[in-house]
Amino acid sequence: MILFRIFDSAVTIGTLTFMDYLWTPWRYTYVSNAEKAQGCVFCERVSWNDDQRALIVYRGQHSFIILNAFPYTSGHVMVVPYQHVDELQKLSKETAEEMMLLSQRLEQVLRKLYHPDGINLGMNIGKAAGAGIAGHIHMHVLPRWVADANFMTVVGETRILPEDLATTWERIHAEFDVK
């Protein structure tokens, strides 16, 4: 991975200080296509016959667990209802219950596999709330460590992940595949 620096250090002009820039050109495809995507990525992925390619680690009765293709940390997953709704209040009681039960199970799995200092669990409902996929609610569940928001993440807007998605899928899927 190559990071391009535009300045060797911060530049000060008068009392204004300009920050360094780290260029990540490989993210262009994601950023430039985010708004152009046709249909719902969750509804599309759940229809695929290959769960590993779709990044789906588990299929429940009312919802499924899928890896985040652009994770904040290794182990970042989402619990997604099959029901395509944009608000939590529109979910059936059974779906909401299953989503919470799967979130609880994921907490156990992520603690076992990644030994994090904490777990983030949450939803961004609506574009103004930060939802990247605003039309189909989903619960983010991800392991966190003290000081995991380092220089690269905070200043460079670049995540450093020690594990690739294929390995993450294998590890989490194995925990749900136990008979």
Question: What is residue 15's predicted lDDT score, i.e. its pLDDT?
Answer: 60
Domain ranges of the chain: 40-176
Question: What is residue 145's predicted lDDT score, i.e. its pLDDT?
Answer: 86
Contacts of 81 (CB under 8 A, 6+ apart): 62, 63, 91, 95, 99, 136, 137, 138
pLDDT digits (tens, 9 = 90+) for 133-165: 888 999 999 999 887 765 444 444 555 566 888
For 9-18, 112-121, 142-151, which range has the lowest pLDDT when averaged over its residues?
Answer: 9-18
Catalytic residue among 84, 138, 140, 173: 138
Question: What is residue 39's predicted lDDT score, i.e. its pLDDT?
Answer: 85
Start-to-end C-alpha separation, the chain: 40
Question: What is residue 71's predicted lDDT score, i.e. its pLDDT?
Answer: 86
User: Is the predicted pLDDT of residue 2 greater than 50, yes or no?
Assistant: no
CATH number for the region 40-176 comes to 3.30.428.10
State the pTM of this model. Answer: 0.76
Residue 40 CA: distances (Å) to CA of 44, 67, 95, 162 = 6, 16, 19, 29
Confirm whether 115 is a catalytic residue.
no
- Of 145, 147, 127, nearest to 137 by C-alpha is 127
pLDDT digits (tens, 9 = 90+) for 32-58: 555 555 789 999 999 999 999 999 999
